[in-house]
Structure 1
Amino acid sequence: MGDGAEPESSDSLRTFGAVVQALREHAGLSREEFGERVRFSKHTVASVELGRRMPDESFVEAAEEALGNTGALRRAAGHVARQPGLAAWFRRWARMEAAAINLYTYECRVVPGLLQTEAYARAVSLSVPPIPNDQELDDRVAARVARQELLSTRRERLCAFSFIIEQALLERRTGGEDITRELLDHLLEVIDRHRNVEIQIMPLLQPVHAGLDGPLQLLETPENQWFAYSEGQKNGRLIADPKEISVLHQRYGKLRSQALTLRDSRVLLEQMRGAL
């Protein structure tokens, strides 16, 4: 709900990683040497080989070139996306998201997956029919928690995040007061720990609102190309048309000006936390 989920690991991820490792070792390259050729750190290479990281398109293409252009990795990458917990329409966006250098998110339905706690993710998943079975629920929750590694400032290629969240999402108290209290603590902790994350709250009272058409996401790739993603009930759409993206940039810019400032947003979060 809100955005797709990506599990911490899966059989397909581990299989893809094993193929990368086998081809790398066949080429006589250490992880560090291979990393230099594909322009990723040896730690990223290790994460991919161990099935802990979703390979993005730039990694796959660079690895193909470095390992002889056999086509094996391109074919294998097509199966990696078939993971539990990851909505079919979200898969390509999730791969792009992993390599993004800028990611803008406006959300009016649920707190974005990258900012959810485990308890909140469970409450969201249990709120909307059809209710998942235990395995499906575990997959979704593990996926959302795993994706939060994207926020890390330890990544080789840091991503800058901007989130605009409707105050109503927090006032709703999805899952109850205890879960909301933990969620507010988590949001404040994210603000404190991640210098690359900005969170703005859209106040309840906002007569002029640029987001009335619904949630939106924008991202910039390492090649400085912009893409957008729009999601609705049981569907999602990846947007590459520059004209459409320009319109969404205008809307996001307006939303930023209409939302509370970073400082005022933090103050509001603290006030809401104190009221629970």
Structure 2
Amino acid sequence: MPQPKNLDPASMKEFYGAELRRRREEAGLSQSGLGDLVFCSGAYIGYLEMAARSPQLDMSEQIDSVLKTDGFFRRLCGAVLKGSKFAGYFAAAAELEQRALAICDFATTVVPGLLQTSAFTRAFIRSLRPLVDEQEIEQIVGARQERARALLKNPLEPELWFVIHEAVLRTHVGGAEVMREQLEHIAGVSRTHQAVIQVLPFSAGMTPLMYGPMRVMTFAEEPSAAYTETAHTGQLIEDPAVVASIAKSYDLARAAAMPPEASLGFVDRLLAEDFTP
């Protein structure tokens, strides 16, 4: 019996876009008209049709409902996302970060993925999922390290900015040796100017983004996007008004944080206080 072929996710994304355009036009809807019915902009529908943005499951379900396509776009979306190295909820965001001009991360409880060492990632995954298979852990570690190498290799493409709450740096993950290596890595990235890193101290009090981690991505010719996540899922946010509000909140957190040089000094002091024999 013939075996099913592995599908090219890039081609599947183009197929998704072509089918969306065909079925939208058959329904007599403009891009803006469909956008209004599925609660997004017409421009976003256009990006989907041009394969400039990856589809998301929740949006695909809404499109199926409006176009009466009986789950077609949800199934097709699953085929697109299946080809990613990352969890389905993060796949679209991971693709976007490769095209971003700037990525601004705010971390409340955990070191941002792009700054994590391999040992930190392993310890963190084990703390979340004690029974996870070792092979799966290594796949996650490998994918995360690959992302970091790709984005940190050139500090200008994209511009990386991290605001890290003091709680992140004081919460030990994986033991003293793992945490010491992690703090040294953060200090090294800051010291070599691969990214701008600011620490938000406890003394800064409450900020608008304290509810959870948040990332804002900006692009040359595409609208900005934001991404947030919990321990088990995540959400890509592309509504322009919501993204603009998140970006303003990020600016407020950035203004409340210590300057980069003072932040580097803070990390160095933590290393000296907590990890010097």
**TM-score normalized with structure 1 length:** 0.68
CA distance in 2, matches of 1:241, 1:133: 37
- Who is 1:88 aligned against? 88
Residue aligned with 1:140, SS: helix
CA distance in 2, matches of 1:215, 1:84: 22
- Who is 1:225 aligned against? 223
Residue aligned with 2:149, SS: helix
Structure 1 residues 12, 95: CA separation in 2 closer, same or farther (over 3 Å shift)? farther
The one-letter amino acid of 1:143's match is: A
CA distance in 2, matches of 1:258, 1:148: 26
CA contact (8 A) 1:151 1:194 kept: no
The one-letter amino acid of 2:190's match is: I
CA contact (8 A) 2:223 2:240 kept: no
CA distance in 2, matches of 1:236, 1:244: 16
CA displacement at 1:213 relative to structure 2: 2.4
Residue aligned with 2:82, SS: coil
CA displacement at 1:77 relative to structure 2: 11
CA contact (8 A) 2:191 2:264 kept: no
Equivalences, count: 211
- Who is 1:136 aligned against? 136
CA contact (8 A) 2:162 2:197 kept: yes
Indicate the structure with greater helix content: 2
CA contact (8 A) 2:190 2:197 kept: yes
CA contact (8 A) 2:198 2:258 kept: yes
CA distance in 2, matches of 1:81, 1:108: 28
- Who is 1:254 aligned against? 252
CA distance in 1, matches of 2:125, 2:212: 20
Cα deviations by residue, 1:54-74 (Å, 9 ceiling, x for unpaired): xxx6599xxxxxxxxxxxxxx
Tell me whether 1:199 sits opposite 2:193 in the alignment: no
Structure 1 residues 234, 153: CA separation in 2 closer, same or farther (over 3 Å shift)? closer
CA displacement at 1:232 relative to structure 2: 2.4
Residue aligned with 2:106, SS: strand
Q: Which runs of 5+ in 1 are unaligned?
A: 1-10, 18-56, 61-75
How much identity, in percent, do the aligned residues show?
28
CA distance in 2, matches of 1:229, 1:153: 22
CA displacement at 1:236 relative to structure 2: 1.7
- Who is 1:264 aligned against? 262
Cα deviations by residue, 1:129-177 (Å, 9 ceiling, x for unpaired): 353111111111111111112333448x710011111111121111111
Structure 1 residues 223, 84: CA separation in 2 closer, same or farther (over 3 Å shift)? closer
- Who is 1:235 aligned against? 233
- Who is 2:169 aligned against? 170
Tell me whether 1:149 sits opposite 2:152 in the alignment: no
Residue aligned with 1:205, SS: helix
The one-letter amino acid of 1:237's match is: Q
Q: How well do the aligned residues superpose, as a CA RMSD in angstroms?
A: 3.0
CA distance in 1, matches of 2:259, 2:170: 19
Tell me whether 1:158 sits opposite 2:157 in the alignment: yes
Q: Which runs of 5+ in 2 are unaligned?
A: 11-50, 55-75
Cα deviations by residue, 1:211-240 (Å, 9 ceiling, x for unpaired): 222221110123152111121243222111
Instruction: Give runs of aligned pairs for residues 89-104 of structure 1, distance below 5 A.
Output: 89-104=89-104
CA distance in 2, matches of 1:78, 1:99: 22
CA distance in 2, matches of 1:271, 1:120: 20
Cα deviations by residue, 1:49-98 (Å, 9 ceiling, x for unpaired): xxxxxxxx6599xxxxxxxxxxxxxxx99856425761210000100011
Tell me whether 1:127 sits opposite 2:127 in the alignment: yes
Residue of 242, 255, 267 corresponding to 1:244: 242
CA displacement at 1:103 relative to structure 2: 0.5
Residue aligned with 1:126, SS: helix
The one-letter amino acid of 1:106's match is: F
Tell me whether 1:214 sits opposite 2:203 in the alignment: no
CA contact (8 A) 1:200 1:265 kept: yes
CA contact (8 A) 1:12 1:82 kept: no
CA contact (8 A) 2:105 2:163 kept: yes
CA distance in 1, matches of 2:225, 2:85: 23
Bigger RCO of structures 1 and 2 (CA < 8 A, at least 6 apart):
1
CA contact (8 A) 2:107 2:163 kept: yes
**TM-score normalized with structure 2 length:** 0.68
Residue aligned with 1:191, SS: helix
